Amino acid sequence: MAGGTTTIRITRDTHARVTKLAAERQETIDETVSRAIRALRQDTIGRDLATPLAHDEAAWLDADAG
C-alpha cells in the first residue's frame, strides 16, 4: 500500500458491513472505503453546485469580460 497503513476504530457492526460490501464488490476493504469517501465528496460537490448562486456571485458571472 502506498503511504503505509494505520488503524481506525470502528464498531464491529460497521466493520462487518464494510467487510461484506468489499467481498461483494471483490475488492479490498481499503478500496471500498476509498470509494465511499470519494462518493461522499462527490455528493457534497453536487449539493454545492445545486445551491443557487448568491447575488454577488451571479453578478460576477454576468459581468462583461471586456
Note if the pTM is more than 0.85: no
Q: What is the pLDDT of residues 3-51, one digit of tens each?
A: 799 999 999 999 999 999 999 999 999 999 999 999 999 999 999 999 9
Cα separation of 30 and 58, whole Å? Answer: 41
Whether 36 and 27 have beta carbons less than 8 Å apart is answered as: no
Top pLDDT among 31 and 64 is at 31
For residue 4, what is its C-alpha cell?
Answer: 503505509
Domain ranges of the chain: 12-58
* Helix axis angle, 12-25 to 29-50, nearest 10°: 90
